[in-house]
A and B are shown apart, each in its own frame.
Chain A
């Protein structure tokens, strides 16, 4: 598996996502405490930590669902240093249009829609027909509709969900629902994909397929990935860099090898999962 760990970093490149000193308070509770994080173009980065550490909150801050109390979030879609942009406090839909797409820990599919329609909604960010276009349904609208359907279907094929195309999203098996969330996110044409516990509830077989899928998305589409995951085997095999948070603070960062032997991390996890599972 030579493609597993690649680094495209050259010196005058900026990280595509750079979080500096970000803090998020909920009233008296500091859910995130001065966290720094950066992702290079093409990297797969993992964010791990015990339950309630603040991982999901971190995602919510980056994707605009919350506005961080302080700190900066910069993006630079192509890694070009002069095109860095601060995205704090932008609305979630704007952040998505800028190229950050996410999945949700507690699956949030559109329940009254079919699998195809779910992905079609994902295309919303990259299409633009409005009310007048919808009413008159001219050439432009028709072309766009066809584009949306074809794009959505080809994504479903890539993700391996094409056989469910007309099925209602809620009727899918659990693992397929998680993959559908990824498909939907891909439809927004992201440069960075944020996955919140994509393997939760999956069986080992499904997890293996997911591992392969994430890698494929990165290698063929060139989309960088930030991954929250409790499945240490998946994290260790996929990521080039791991950030560990606990009680909202970053307690370690490094390669899987470094994290595995980091005493602070082992202590935070009470020495359980990390040591055992990763030697396997």
Chain B
């Protein structure tokens, strides 16, 4: 396609936009004097702006097409290459570890608290990544399992005085049970259908929590959930925050460890096989339902554990923390970061949680920015920020 052609298309686009925005951008009715103000300069601005945006858009698309042709294989990004290089792995990990360890000591409690929230979402993202990235199941109502964990701790503590460390595995197991209960009938559904059913499930859990007052205290939620205990010693406010920070970091590390182990195992291979070809997988003796259910249960377990941590951190929970919006954010961290890629999901979660925190003024445009970013990602980087490069097994004699 020639440059002339591109320019013509862009001109058409700008004319179209001028026409579309004419009523709001150009006409202004002055209701006091009952006159109409014609702001033609606005039209010119729209026209010129759209023309250049359109040209830029076309240029990027073209570049992407060329890039795709040229370097299909060599197109690993800098980060991907860094992740694969053995000699950078150890120093990199040491640096990250040092930063995480000193983080709560050099930054304020406020920052540490924000970081804890972000890390909880890292956990959630990694958990959902098991389901979506490894097993290829699109689950939308993931916040429901998060809620199960949080309420498990809150209610067990309220009624039976169960502490954090006992509630942590219980919350995980309960969420896994819910996952299995839901998964058993619906996992035979594929793609979009599964997504819709899990979406419905998420809403059901939220509605139950909101309306079953005797059980969950409705919208007013549960207060005074204790923070994690430290061998029976009373910790100061600040010390508790730091303590929770380290707990979350440990849980994230544990999550990464587990996912890595799973990826390179018989189960992980079965998930990859099922993603590639269900019929062939079954013909190889893989139990489709059971294998998918395992991914589902594991993913839910992590949401449940993250829920327990969340309840302990905020000391107050109500259904408003577990809406569809939370599910969407978690899903976005996975999609944006890179499905299946651990580094990608971590980067995605940190970005999506930290950015809005530090750009509060930007808050109103959050939805629009999210949407725009996702669409741009789909077009220019469908694999996510840090695309997953599946490590294939290399045979050594």
Contact = CB atoms under 8 A, between A and B. Distances in A.
A124 interface: yes
Contact of B284 (A121, A135, A144): A121
A122 B284 contact: yes
Interface in B264-289: 265-270, 272-273, 275-277, 279-288
B262 A120 contact: no
Interface string A58-76: 0000011100000000000
Contact of B266 (A64, A93, A113, A129): A129
Contacts of A23: none
A183 to B, nearest CB: 12
Contact of B267 (A130, A148, A184): A130
A89 interface: no
Contacts of B294: 130-131
B394 interface: yes
A177 interface: no
A112 B282 contact: no
B187 to A, nearest CB: 14
A109 B269 CA distance: 14
B256 to A, nearest CB: 12
A141 B273 CA distance: 20
Interface residues of B, number: 31
B393 A117 contact: yes
A224 interface: no
B28 interface: no
A228 B384 CA distance: 44
Contact of A165 (B267, B276, B277, B395): B395
Interface in A130-170: 130-131, 133-135, 137, 141, 144-145, 148-149, 153, 165-166, 168
B63 interface: no
Contact of A121 (B270, B287, B395): B270
Interface in B103-124: none
A165 B394 CA distance: 8
B265 A134 contact: yes
Contact of B286 (A63, A124, A153): A124
Identify the interface centre among B266, B269, B287: most chain A CB within 10 Å of its CB.
Answer: B266
Interface string B222-261: 0000000000000000000000000000000000001001
Nearest to B280: A108
A101 B280 contact: no
What band does the interface of chain A fall in when counting residues whose beta carbon is under 8 Å from B?
Answer: 35 or more
A201 B328 CA distance: 47
Given A110-B272, A110-B277, A113-B272, A188 B298 contact: no
Contacts of B390: 112
B263 to A, nearest CB: 9
Given A108-B279, A108-B280, A149-B395, A96 B285 contact: yes
- B contact face: mostly helix, strand, loop, or mixed: helix
A127 B266 CA distance: 8
B262 A109 contact: no
Contact of B393 (A64, A110, A111, A149): A149
B286 A121 contact: yes
A41 interface: no
A104 interface: yes
A121 to B, nearest CB: 5
Nearest to A136: B261
Contact of A125 (B258, B265, B268, B284): B284
B392 interface: yes
Nearest to B394: A166
A116 interface: yes
Nearest to A184: B284
A97 interface: yes
Given A124-B285, A131-B298, A141-B265, A116 B280 contact: no
A108 B277 contact: yes
A230 to B, nearest CB: 22
A110 B280 contact: yes
Contact of A144 (B262, B266, B277, B395): B266
B262 A117 contact: no
A114 B394 CA distance: 9
A115 B89 CA distance: 28
A124 B272 contact: no
B305 to A, nearest CB: 14
B248 to A, nearest CB: 20
B297 to A, nearest CB: 9
Interface string B136-172: 0000000000000000000000000000000000000
B81 to A, nearest CB: 20
A191 B391 CA distance: 33
Given A112-B272, A113-B273, A131-B298, A148 B266 contact: yes
Contacts of B282: 64-65, 91-93, 96
Given A92-B282, A110-B280, A134-B268, A116 B287 contact: no
A65 B279 contact: yes
Interface string B373-397: 0000000000000000010111100
Contacts of A91: 282, 287
Interface of B: 258, 261-262, 265-270, 272-273, 275-277, 279-288, 294, 298, 390, 392-395
Q: Can you list the 4 inter-chain pairs with the closest CB atoms, starting with the nearest?
A: A125-B285, A134-B265, A108-B280, A92-B282
Interface of A: 63-65, 91-93, 96-97, 101-102, 104, 108-114, 116-117, 120-122, 124-127, 129-131, 133-135, 137, 141, 144-145, 148-149, 153, 165-166, 168, 184-185, 187-188
